[in-house]
Amino acid sequence: MVQIGYTMMTEQAGPRELVDHVVRAEQVGFDFSVTSDHYFPWLRSQGHAPYAWTVLGAAAQATSRIPLMTYVTCPTFRYHPAVVAQKAATLQLLSEGRFRLGLGSGENLNEHVVGGGWPSVDVRHEMLQEAVEIIRALFEGGHVNRRGTHFDVESARLWDLPDSPPPIGIAVSGERSCALAGEHADLMIATEPEPGLVESFDGHGGRGKPRVGQLPVSYDPDRDTAIKRAHAQFRWFGSGWKVNSELPHPDSFEAATQFVTPDDVAESIPCGDDPDAFVEAVRPYADAGFTEIALVQIGGESQPAFLDWSEKTLLPALRDALG
């Protein structure tokens, strides 16, 4: 059975609103939730970027059933992996075992703020692998000492550990990241319904592990309003990860997407209130072998209406169509 999730998108709502939204998502029946971890929004029109880990701590206390997950945290620039391990272990305790740690190699948009430069993708993957090894070692308990290529750890230990450490997910976009995820992750994370990603993940040791995808949607009873909102806040989405990971500032995304039209956005993002259109947008993920799909409703102020519609219309339609 394909599970349907809800995205707390930190780029488009403030911290209190994000917690309110995930509480309602739990009430209406979403199977899980994920949370972005940004320092900047993609576009100025989105308008927010609160600290995701504080939001997650509040969400863990405000909810009781819905799983939580970072989608995704970069454990190599803004955060040292030893600190990520501590945060994740603490959140697993607060949520009573409902947390999964989604990791990725990051975007220049968020990581440039610490002034460390932005290396090539090969180096970023090396850093991610080393970070995952450090995090797993700390999850095992005891003191960790390491002199690595990219990170040093000196007599680190997590004093508050859950009985079961958080499962680790790794975001994939190509062969190298699929190999990294297959070998080192408990689940795969992706933002495109590419069967090749699943096949590569399986071939590198990921067979039988969860595959989590994500899809932006724009619900509104007025389709033109939904399209306008999607264009204003999400026209960057179709640029692809090779572009999105490199640009350093929201103004860069403004410039890169200046020729994207509302019609372009409407062709790639379901807009309006026809549940069949949303089902057909989700279906490629299921067909590609994804076991979980998290929806991103575009627009912070539109979340309450989307959640009400999801309870009455969208979730029943998705479950009927996808089993």
Residue 171 β-bridge partners:
189
Q: Which residues contact 300 (CB under 8 A, 6 or more apart)?
A: 9, 12, 13, 14, 17, 46, 47, 48
Q: Which residues contact 98 (CB under 8 A, 6 or more apart)?
A: 60, 65, 66, 67, 68, 92
Read off the amino acid at residue 158: L
Angstrom distance (rounded) from CA 132 to CA 161: 17
Catalytic residue flag (residue 38)? yes
CB count in 10 Å sphere of residue 143: 12
- The burial class, CB within 10 Å (0-12 / 13-18 / 19+), for 120 is exposed
Angstrom distance (rounded) from CA 313 to CA 158: 44
Are 179 and 195 spatial neighbours (Cβ–Cβ below 8 Å)?
A: no
Catalytic residue flag (residue 107)? yes
CB count in 10 Å sphere of residue 32: 22
φ, ψ at 255 (rounded to 5°): -70, -40
Options 21, 38, 204, 231, the catalytic residue: 38
Options 11, 17, 26, 107, the catalytic residue: 107
Q: Which residues are catalytic?
A: 38, 107
